[in-house]
Amino acid sequence: MFTLRSVALAAVLVLTLASCSRKATPVPVEGFELRTDEVRKFELKVPKNWFIQQRRGDLILAVSLKSHSARFLSFGKGTGGAKVELRAFPLDSATTIDSLVKRSKLEFEDNLDRYERTTATLGGKPAQKLSVKFDQEDGEFRSEAYFAENDSVVTILTFAAFGNTFSDYEKDFAEILSSVKLAQRPVVAPTTPQGPTAPEPPSDTLRAYNAPDFTIQIPQNFQGTKGQASGLSSMSFAGSRLDCTIQVDVFDAKDQKNLDKIIEQNKSRYGGGSATATSLSGVKAYYFTYNPAANIQSRAYFMVKGDRMVRVTMNWFKPEQAVYLPIFEKSLATFKLK
């Protein structure tokens, strides 16, 4: 029976014993540069030859290659990839270290919690450490996240690597960990940066993109790259913010064409909530709303046409939902399956 789930997470149940036999080629670390945030004053070293993004007030992200970025959202197929990520979250009545730890966990199709939670130190302060590892087709995925509070702000530092390459970076990760300075509350609230490092918002002017299986209009300043999910085809579209994407995956549905059954089979993968009925490309569709990571909001749309099943996934930075969601919905309305 055809069951669409996250291929990466499904593989945990059947490939665990073979993970040590597969290994990707790690991207080397060729020295470090120190990055400092002007608003909340956090800082850390990052590999200077990796792809780096910085957003004032809440984020420093370094990914081994730009092309590896999408994999940390989809957990689909790929060949390696590593990241170092530091985020800052002000505490309020709804945001605590415990809530941030819970929101940082991936959900597995068997609903088991594979995470280990221990104590550690980050930036000279007591910290919570959240660790997980599981198998993927190219080897073991492993992640360590550190959570520490300072001045009513939680700093989260995450190290992660696909392809059984985490151990290759352990000395580098240790140096980065020791370089961290925790975030603090700013005297003045952060403003939208205007400098060259500020992520560019999606253009409200759309341009046509013609793929072998579908057509869609995407923001003019977005680029299309081949996605990592398994299936007949996969394309991911992103601009300068790598956590704000549209991904289209087309699957062979000959073995299961009943959309209602597909939705029921995938319900647990998307938080267990009910799907919302809609239409896509003039065909009956459903979508799930879920949170794959802290402050990231997502929708996954499903439709069946002929022998093909389509999943369109939209991810956006929740604090900037008013900027991204209307453009993404405008883009989705142009989607046509060939």
Residue ranges covered by each domain of the chain: 7-178, 206-337
Reported as type and span, the H/E element at residue 97 is: helix 97-103
Residue 225 phi/psi, 5° resolution? -135, 155
Q: For the sheet containing 153-161, what is the strand order?
A: 51-55, 59-63, 82-90, 153-161, 139-150, 125-136, 116-122
109 Cβ neighbours under 8 A, 6+ residues apart: 5, 6, 9, 10, 13, 268, 269
Buried b (16+ CB within 10 A) or exposed e, 2-17: eebebbbbbbbeebee
Tens digits of residue pLDDT in 163-218: 999 999 999 999 999 999 999 987 544 455 554 456 788 888 889 999 888 999 99
- The CATH number given to 7-178 is 3.40.1000.10
pLDDT at 292: 82
Same CATH topology for 7-178 and 206-337: the answer is yes
Which tokens is 51 given? 């792809």
Are 118 and 131 in contact by the 8 Å Cβ rule? The answer is yes
Are 134 and 14 in contact by the 8 Å Cβ rule? The answer is no
The pTM assigned to this predicted structure is 0.59
Tens digits of residue pLDDT in 205-260: 889 999 888 999 999 899 888 866 567 888 889 988 888 999 999 988 888 889 99
Per DSSP, the three-state class of 90 is strand
The amino acid at 199: P
* End-to-end CA gap in the chain: 25
Superfamily of structural domain 206-337: Mog1/PsbP, alpha/beta/alpha sandwich (3.40.1000.10)
Q: Which residues of the chain have pLDDT under 50?
A: 1-19, 188-190, 195-196
Reported as type and span, the H/E element at residue 87 is: strand 82-90
Query: What pairing do the DSSP bridges indicate for beta strands 82-90 and 153-161?
Result: antiparallel
Query: What pairing do the DSSP bridges indicate for beta strands 51-55 and 283-293?
Result: unpaired
pLDDT at 230: 63
Hunting for tokens 């170092």 — which residue is that?
A: 84
223: β partners: 238
Hunting for tokens 């370089």 — which residue is that?
A: 179
